[in-house]
Structure 1
Amino acid sequence: MKKNFQIVLFSLLLISMVLSSAMIVAANNISGKQKKERVKGSALGVKPITGTWINLAYKDVRNKYTNPQHFDNTDPELWRAKVRELSAMGIEYLVFMEVANEGKAYYPSHLMPWWFDANKQSPVEAILDEAGRHNMKIFMSTGWAKDQDDNLLNPAIKERQVQIMEELAALYKDHKAFYGWYLPVEDCLCPIFAEHAVQSANTLTEKAKSLTPGKKTLISPYGIGLSEFDNPEYEKQLAKLKVDIIAYQDEVGCVRDKFMLPRLKKTWQRLRDIHNRLNIEMWANCETFTWEQGTNDRSSALIPAAYPRLLSQQVAASAAGVDKIISFMFCGIIEDPKSTYQLGQPIWSNKVYNDYMSWKNQAEYWKLVEAAFFERLSNQATTEMMLGKAGIQALLDGKVAEEDSKDTRWVKFEKGYHEFSVDLKKRTHVKQAMLRLLNYNLDGIGMPLKVYLFTSLDGKEYNLASIKDAPFFPNSKHDAWIESILFDRLDENVRYVKVAFEAPQQVYIDEFFVNPMVK
């Protein structure tokens, strides 16, 4: 009897173990499935900007706002504050543009004299220490051997870069924040990456790996707008690289083309396809700036671009599946208005900060703007609901245009007064409405001053429901970008909606969304 009981007990225990194991496997499968779904879901969204360069040297007028000339650029308190602000903005990676310039160092070097006061902490150490407190990751620079125009073909330049690397490794290789190396091999990918640039990057990479095993290496070349992706040698050159990360400059700020963004979307897709066959991470270096005067001119200051332009850059990079988005310049371009140290173009660097943080905090306005960039914003109104002259029905066709004045999806309105009406066919609860407009000063395309929204039950007597100021951003000498005007907080049970505006110049609109919904 006792033996039978033991057999039964053992059997029950065995069954329990099998069931428990099955439940664990099932739970793991569910967890894995959920994880995949989360990854898939995040891939449909827009990646935030999680890294930026730190520039310690005033070099030319381009730094007029980002690193003003007539003050102490080496002040450790300034840089501690800036690192804290960047961390609060979600920045995880800091990349030193340079740790030396014109033969003087920003760290306690034995090779070179110092730029900073010997009685104060060096800016490099101040940034490293503050980054460590906020769990940020630092890419240390290997330059400049001489200045921003270092010639990689010069043996003396190469030798000094290695010497700088050796000093920095000895000083900081065990620092909590030291994550990797930025190799300032910013050669052009035009039409392919030059052999000397590949070898320079590989030489520095091999040295970095020997001095600091496990540390990442990063380069950020330019010229994707001039790249020959169909040339078999293009991928072969990239495949030779031994670096861990390539952060491609997207060149939107540099205005490589008249309309950069449409082609950039295709470019990212081409690069993603190539990187799927390489053992190298693909990062986007999204340019946040535009130019105060001429483009790509050292006598012209870098100033903040309108955030809708930058969001479109983020969307293009995210849609292609880049691994991370970083930016050449945040400090002095996107500035916290509460900062003790106000760098940046007055007013407008704060405006871009507020817009970016509003997007990061998932404000309703930016959710809709983002969805429209992704072509995932539905319209409750349809083309047959548009009243009036032919041609404007396209405002309700659900098709959005790109940042190009020649895109046929733009509906054009000349200078003067305009209005259009929509018959929703039945009484409808209208809660929101949104217009998308092109801003391109070079072609004389801009914003109306104000836009008026009227509603009606019978199509005869209209009531004013809302008035909105159109967005205004003065840094518009070079860029094309898309603005949106959202009529929110509406509570209208109506059949008809009318939009009216006065255009001081051409106005291009691609869609009028009624009760827009994210698909």
Structure 2
Amino acid sequence: MRIFNHMNMHLYIKAIPVILLLAFSSPVVHASGVNGPKPDISLTLIPPSPVTDQITLDVRAGIWNHASAKKTISVSFYLDKEEKSSLLHQQNITLAAKANGLVKFPWSTKNMAGDHKIILVTHSGKKILRKERPMQVLASTIRSTKRIDGAWFGFYHWSEAEGKYWNAELKKATDAQWGEMMEDQSKLDMNIIVIQDVIRNPDAYAGKHHIETEGYKGVPYYPSAIIPGRFPLTAKDPLEAVLASADKNHMNVFVGVGSYAWFDFTKGSLEWHKKLADELWAKYGHHDSFYGWYVSEEQDGGLGDEQARKDIVDFFKEFKAYVNKIAPDKPVMLATNSHNLRGAEDTYRKLLPNLDILCPFAFHRMLPTDLTGEQAANKLQELCNEAGSHLWMDMEIFDFAEGNALVPRSIQGVISDLHRFPNFEKILCYQYPGLLNSPDASIKPGGANTVKLYLDYKQYLDSIKNAKD
């Protein structure tokens, strides 16, 4: 869920050394009571392909030992081909029984323009496992690819007013049509999907709800065993449909863990998120496209008052440690707005070490009394560099129409942002459903203007892909 008009209404509380990290965890008991998927190895690249030759890639391997005894595993990474001259990194790790671990190292893309693949190979006794990911490196003078690398994906907009032109159509979408949207998005080379949330609870706000005493009132979009009820979508399981189509189209899905209550990072919210993460991994963690975790609650760029700042730091310290026990290589992402950063720097320094990706939005509509969009982007980049976190951009591809209804932004505004902010290693957009539609789509939530933006962006994308260096 995204709260946009609240920003207008009340300022919206909206050369690295080589590192090897081994993180070990104990077995995970899932809150749903269902045994989770049991992968043997997993390979995650942050960010995923494509990237420019001006970044440092975060290469991660999750390794599982499902045996009942301790096991030593040899972990090797290769570039393009599995031979000694192409070895990027190698390490032996020892895992306790029923435990998992993380091997992580940075790889600079400098002078590496071209089409590559990162290959993970593990050896344990006679058992050899392999996993690989493509990595296209674009020659550039900046970090950004100057393209939209992915999109938010909401099953139903939190606000009936803002979702006026698409909510009714999304409610009628079948499982097949959700999968179709994934295919159409992939044709724009947008290979990252951020599921906004998987539970609808639009009216709960931090400090203004009574969940602890009256119970949680949200309803899931997917068949949940831990949260009763279902939001009345035609699709039986739109989350499964999205992940299955993303598998087929080699896409990367952040599963939205939320929403508990807007801006709420209290202890109660943390425990709720842990239980939900357990179930989501148990039900959907077998999908190759399950890329990471997105915490749906959002926050203002100033990170709230003193108590809210303490809460958000404590939340991510514990939540990241918890989900790393489930899936050690999967990143955690949060979207904040880009406003009110001054004075919050010390809190970011505490928060970012436990946040893999920060993906702020609204740089193009800073208030006159605030930093400029460029200044905000530079400040956040410095803080992320200091913490070793990744800074991506959540670019808004909408304008407000009558009654705050969201409508597609002009292609000129979209292109302006793509070129105005060169430091973001990935630029995602809010959102695909309701703002972008292929002309061949069987349903077109949002109407004809969404098709126009889709085609206008496709023309821009083709122009930069075909341009000579």
Query: Structure 2-normalised TM-score?
Result: 0.61
- Structure 1, residues 59-112: CA drift from partner, whole Å, max 9, x if none? 3211122x4236635621220111111111111111111111243222221112
Aligned residue runs from structure 1 range 6-405, under 5 A: 34-35=111-112, 40-41=139-140, 43=142, 46-60=145-159, 61-65=161-165, 67-69=166-168, 72-73=171-172, 75-102=174-201, 103-115=218-230, 121-145=236-260, 149=262, 151-153=264-266, 155-190=267-302, 194-222=309-337, 224-228=338-342, 233=346, 235-239=348-352, 241-252=353-364, 255-257=365-367, 263-293=372-402, 299-318=403-422, 321-344=423-446, 346-362=447-463
Distance across 1 between alignment mates of 2:345 and 2:230 = 46
In the other structure, the counterpart of 2:76 is none
Provide closer, same or farther for how the CA distance between residues 234 and 117 of structure 1 changes in structure 2, counting only shifts above 3 A.
closer
Provide closer, same or farther for how the CA distance between residues 246 and 120 of structure 1 changes in structure 2, counting only shifts above 3 A.
closer
In the TM superposition, residue 123 of structure 1 has moved relative to its aligned partner by 0.7
Distance across 2 between alignment mates of 1:73 and 1:119 = 5
Most deviating of 194-203 and 122-131: 194-203
Most deviating of 104-113 and 116-125: 116-125
- Structure 1, residues 257-300: CA drift from partner, whole Å, max 9, x if none? 3699x92123222322332222101101111111003xxxxx51
SS at structure 2 position matched to 1:249: coil
In the TM superposition, residue 360 of structure 1 has moved relative to its aligned partner by 0.4
- Structure 1, residues 282-319: CA drift from partner, whole Å, max 9, x if none? 101111111003xxxxx51111111111111111222x
Distance across 2 between alignment mates of 1:332 and 1:54 = 9
Q: How much identity, in percent, do the aligned residues show?
A: 19
SS at structure 2 position matched to 1:342: coil
In the other structure, the counterpart of 1:456 is none
- Structure 1, residues 109-168: CA drift from partner, whole Å, max 9, x if none? 1112342689964111111111100011111111123x6x36333x44333222111111
In the other structure, the counterpart of 2:117 is none
Query: Structure 1-normalised TM-score?
Result: 0.56
Distance across 2 between alignment mates of 1:334 and 1:258 = 30
Structure 1 regions of 5+ residues with no counterpart? 1-23, 26-31, 294-298, 368-517
RCO (CA 8 Å, sep 6+): is it higher in 1 or 2? 2
Distance across 2 between alignment mates of 1:348 and 1:70 = 15
Aligned residue runs from structure 1 range 491-510, under 5 A: none
Most deviating of 124-133 and 136-145: 136-145
- Structure 1, residues 207-251: CA drift from partner, whole Å, max 9, x if none? 2111222111111111x232117x652552344x41211111134
Provide closer, same or farther for how the CA distance between residues 139 and 170 of structure 1 changes in structure 2, counting only shifts above 3 A.
same
SS at structure 1 position matched to 2:194: strand
- Structure 1, residues 31-53: CA drift from partner, whole Å, max 9, x if none? x9852697552638752111111
Judging by fraction of residues, say which structure has more helix: 1
- Structure 1, residues 345-374: CA drift from partner, whole Å, max 9, x if none? x3322222222111101179x97xxxxxxx
Distance across 2 between alignment mates of 1:185 and 1:117 = 22
Distance across 2 between alignment mates of 1:81 and 1:178 = 18
Distance across 2 between alignment mates of 1:81 and 1:40 = 32
SS at structure 1 position matched to 2:112: helix
Tell which structure's C-alpha radius of gyration is larger: 1
Measured on the aligned residues, the alpha-carbon RMSD in Å equals 3.3
Provide closer, same or farther for how the CA distance between residues 275 and 349 of structure 1 changes in structure 2, counting only shifts above 3 A.
same
AA aligned opposite 1:64: K
Moved over 6 A (4+): 116-120
C-alpha contact 1:140 1:178 (8 A) present in aligned 2 = yes
SS at structure 2 position matched to 1:53: strand
